[in-house]
Amino acid sequence: MLNWDDPLAKPAPIESTPAPANTETQPAHPHVVEEAARAMQAEEQAEAMASMEPVNPDDKRVINGMTDINQLAPFKYPWAWEYFLNANKNHWTPLDINMAQDVHDYQHKLTLEERHVYENVLSYLTTSDILAMRNIGLAVMEKMSAPELQIYQARQVYEESLHTWTYQHCIETIGLDQGEIYNRYRVVPEINKKIQITNRRLASILRADIDLRDPDELQNFVMAYIFFAAIFEGCWFYNGFSPIFALQRRGLMKGTAEQLQYIMRDEVLHASFGIRVVKQIIQEENITLDKQVLREMWDESEAAEIGYASYILRDPILGYSQEDHVGQFRFIANRRARQLGIDEPFPGAEATLPWLDEQAHLRKEKNFFETRVTEYQTGGALKWD
C-alpha cells in the first residue's frame, strides 16, 4: 500500500508482536504531557462553542479567551489586522539585492577591525533571529485566543525565517567560514551572554504545562513578552544593525546594509506589535508590573549590551565606538519604556546615533535596471509608530 507520508518508502512488513510486560510505572513522555495539555485546551474551546451562538467580538481576549479561535471577524483587535496588512507591504528576499560590491569591500577595503565588527554582528544576528522565530512560533502564538493576533504572528515567524536566510546569504556570499561564524555564539562569552539571557526567558514560557490563569505564570509570561518585544527586538536588534549602518554611511558593505534596512523595518513592527499586545494583556488581566523585576531586567540587558559592545568594538572603527553603541541602547530603551507606559530606565539618555532612525524611515529611489529591489508598496507607505 502506498505510504502517503513518504511515497518513495518501501512498504514495511506487518508484524504482530505482543507488547512487552512492564510492571513498573514509567513517567509520561514530555510529548504526552504536551498533547494532553493541548487536548484539554481544545476541549475547553469545544465546550465554549457547543451553544453554536454567533461570536461576539466583545467576548474575545488576547489570552485565556473562550470564543471560537477559528472566526476572524468581527475583529476585536482591528489594529492587529492592520499590522498584518502593513507587514505584507515590506516584501523582499535577499536574492533581490546585489552583493558584488560587498565582496570587494570585505576583501580589499575593510580594515581588520571592521571585519571583526562585520563578522560578529552577523554571528550574533544569525542565532538571535532563530530564537525570535521560536519564541513567537512555539511559545507565544499558540497562547493567543484571537485569530487576528495569530495571523500577524504567523507572518512574523516567516519574517524571522527570512531574516535568518538573509544573514546566511551574506555569510555565504562573502565567503566566510560558516562553521566558525555560526559557532561564535557558543564560544565568545560576550555573545553567549545575550543568547543565554534570551534562552532563559524563552524556556520559562515554552512549557506544555503553563497555566496563564495562574497569577505567577501570567506575570512571568508578560515579563518574557516585554523582554522579547521591548528589549530583544526593540533594543538589541534595533541597535544591533547600527555598526553595519555606520559602514554603509562611509560607502562600505552597502548591500548587506540595505538588507538590514528591510529587516529593521520588520523588527520595528515586531517590537511595536509585541508592546501593543502586552499592554492589552495588562489591561484585560488587570496586571500590575513589579517595578523591581523590571529594573533588574533593564540592568541585566544593559550589562549584556555593554559586554557585547566591548567585544565587537574592542577597537573603535571610524565613526563608531563602544560609547556610541551603549548610549544609543539606553536612548532606545527609554523609548520602548514610554511605549509600554512605564518608567524610563535610563533618565536623561540622549541619542548618540541621531542618524539611526533614518535607516528605518529611508525611502530609496532606485533604477530598476541597476538592482532588482523595488519599493513595491514599501518605504513611505509603511507606518512605523
Q: Residues with Cβ < 8 Å from 268, sequence gap 6 or more?
A: 238, 360, 384
Tell me if 163 is assigned to a ligand binding site.
yes
Tell me if 267 is assigned to a ligand binding site.
yes
The helix/strand/coil state of 320 is strand
Active site residue 167: yes
Tell me if 129 is assigned to a ligand binding site.
yes
Rounded to 5 degrees, φ, ψ at 317 are -105, 165
Tell me if 24 is assigned to a ligand binding site.
no
How far is the CA of 292 from the CAs of 275, 299, 330, 381, 384, in angstroms?
Answer: 19, 11, 18, 40, 30
Given the residues 83, 106, 118, 167, the one annotated as active site = 167
Tell me if 160 is assigned to a ligand binding site.
yes
Residue corresponding to grid cell 523585576: 293
Cα–Cα distance, 184 to 125 (Å, whole number): 11
**Amino acid in position 152:** Y
346: closest CA among 325, 324, 331, 326?
Answer: 331
Burial label for 201, CB within 10 Å (0-12, 13-18, 19+), is: buried
Q: Residues with Cβ < 8 Å from 112, sequence gap 6 or more?
A: none
Write down the H helix ranges in 175-290: 178-182, 184-187, 189-205, 215-226, 238-240, 242-248, 254-285
**Amino acid in position 384:** W
- Known binding residues are 129, 160, 163, 233, 267, 270
**Catalytic residues, which ones?**
167
- Known binding residues for Fe cation are 129, 160, 163, 233, 267, 270
